[in-house]
Structure 1
């Protein structure tokens, strides 16, 4: 009668699979992709930012950037664009989510239609809006002339203020469905017992919104605010195809400036410096979100 023996190799393999190493083995492919497509470009772009015109390493690109008025104009345009996009897209998304949270006939169909702007690629969206904004036969001017104080066709993409307003509106229209669906999911997780208790205490719809709904979805709104900030900071396709960064650099945001420096002026070092600034801005926004979220969690 033979007794089955277990080899040391089988024992070590079983302990590896059954032990704590299995989760790390499972995430290795994802980590490899992150390193190749995210970490390496960040490191390479940072090295580009340190390369001077003569090929030497230093901070010449950052010194020139600080003294360049065009950089500060670009930074101002970026913050104006990001601020308005973040505020408007969250307000629109919250309003739409509140409407979609009501129970009415055909709600599922309406929810499906709302996802259309998010599902359409950026290029068709940009081309469609450029045609609609045409100063001669565009539908936007036809609608604008219905207003009593508008008599002439508007040059939507040739006026700096109108051009900035245009790309803000297009960006909000393109992105709000995603934020609406996330907020809708958060609204559906709010307990009905909280609303019942608020009604017993005499709170009306507005009081229920500010004392029940907003506190319960506060963390979701904060997370979406950070995502909207990063999304708008990195937005390139819509801005480039609609305005090209013009007129007179009024809509040249950070992403557009990086493209211009790298692929039009072939100044890869200066483009790398811009990219480093964009990375730092996004990182600071993320760190601020984590700090605020932890403080709110302590208060609760």
Structure 2
């Protein structure tokens, strides 16, 4: 085992397990370095560590867990990490039939995962504040009322009742990626605390600029691969806007009426559309 991290520039340090590592070695390194963050890679060591009873006591002390390229067959393989606060599950699969009840991870605050229909209480966890989820396959899902979640990212999803998203009453950041079933987003005006949005490759979204202009709390807007816009001018009403980025956009009909962006005192912007490329970033 050795000390490392997940990506260059990340401040969090992890213990990275290797084949043939012992419980004693892991315990010693955790105490010596005071590191309770762990990386388990199925490609490097397989998934045997997750099913080994001998490691379970140490795993219960882990605070940040990064799993990649593993197959999760039993719920206990996850739930043994009793004190985990941040859980990152990358390029992995949920197999088997046991439900995964997220309420059993009582300290969980941040979760990054592919979706599984085995999940229980995903949107009713009392401490979960950040949720990044891929391939959400609950067609027709209505999002429940939730006062805990502050950041929600959904990447690729079957059609849901998108107008129920404002049931996340304290949401500050919303990221929607690769979801063609979203058309009307007038519901976004119902958010009272939303500060950050990222809409990418949601090619059927309608009246994006007009709808976003109704969310007065917005500070950051990122729009990528969304098609044509009539005008950017409605954004002038967003007095708190600090960052505006439009990447690989379609055509801007009202391309003459963009000078107002330079007059917004705290705004950094970068516009990349077929007939309008401009910005004021250094």
Into which bin does the TM-score normalised by the smaller protein fall?
under 0.3
**Structure whose residues are more often strand by fraction:** 2
TM-score (norm 2): 0.22
Higher relative contact order (CA 8 A, sep 6+): 1
Look at both structures and tell me which one has the larger radius of gyration over its CA atoms. Answer: 1
